[in-house]
A and B are shown apart, each in its own frame.
Chain A
Amino acid sequence: QQQVKQSPQSLIVQKGGISIINCAYENTAFDYFPWYQQFPGKGPALLIAIRPDVSEKKEGRFTISFNKSAKQFSLHIMDSQPGDSATYFCAATTSGTYKYIFGTGTRLKVLA
């Protein structure tokens, strides 16, 4: 019940295309869902996050879509750029626990 399932494991997208990464969870106590971007040799960087009372959140080219009834959320990267090539992790936590459960990661490659 503590797992967060992430797919796909890897993704190749043409420059200018849309990258979509999906995550699913079971624990209904989770109330905060961040996405992190990680480049090789670096720590994860917070990209965007959402809470269950909102169905969508957009920041620049990055959008989170959240489906509470299906217990799923996804990251959409619009107009994908080669600089977006990185590993993306979804995560979930319950406020006040400071314990994140991470998905297994998606390695994104954007072709120039």
Chain B
Amino acid sequence: KAGVTQTPRYLIKTRGQQVTLSCSPISGHRSVSWYQQTPGQGLQFLFEYFSETQRNKGNFPGRFSGRQFSNSRSEMNVSTLELGDSALYLCASTLWDSTEAFFGQGTRLTVV
């Protein structure tokens, strides 16, 4: 069974640009969550989607947004990039009735 797949693995963007990251959950998993990991702040929850609906949201500015498609794949978008947005962005998927979250390898975003 394939794990959580995140694309791309690495991205370099310029301040002010926008970026879209993609996540394909484990087959059969319907919940997808996104986390930001930085050396200073650690792992922080961004948002969670289930059946195309955002059910939970962390304390991030509106520049961070996401969506989920009918096949459970999810994307997150960051607009007007800032240097501080440089981080490893992790996606996790969960079965609809389980608490176990399985993470992908992440997308390393560097903003220059």
* Contact surface of A with B, Cβ cutoff 8 Å: 32, 34, 36, 41-46, 49, 89, 91, 93, 95, 97-105
Task: Tell me which residues across on chain A come within 8 A of B100, comparing CB atoms.
Answer: 34, 46, 49
Question: How many Å lie between the Cα of A105 and that of B35 in the bound state?
Answer: 15
Check B42 against A104 for contact (C-beta < 8 Å). Answer: yes
- CB B33 to nearest CB in A, in angstroms, measures 6
- CB A87 to nearest CB in B, in angstroms, measures 10
Q: Count CB-based A-B contacts (< 8 Å).
A: 60
**Chain B, interface residues (CB within 8 Å), range:** 20 to 34
Task: Tell me which residues across on chain A come within 8 A of B58, comparing CB atoms.
Answer: 99
* Contact surface of B with A, Cβ cutoff 8 Å: 4, 6, 31, 33, 35, 42-45, 48, 50, 55-56, 58, 90, 92, 94, 99-106
Question: How many Å lie between the Cα of A103 and that of B56 in the bound state?
Answer: 20
Q: Which of A42, A89, A93, A101 lies in contact with B99, CB distance below 8 A?
A: A93
- A sample of 6 inter-chain contacts (CB < 8 A) reads A43-B105, A95-B99, A98-B33, A98-B48, A99-B45, A99-B56
Task: Tell me which residues across on chain B come within 8 A of A34, comparing CB atoms.
Answer: 100-101
Residue with the highest number of chain B CB atoms closer than 10 Å, among A32, A43, A101: A43
Question: How many Å lie between the Cα of A43 and that of B4 in the bound state?
Answer: 10
Check A100 against B45 for contact (C-beta < 8 Å). Answer: yes
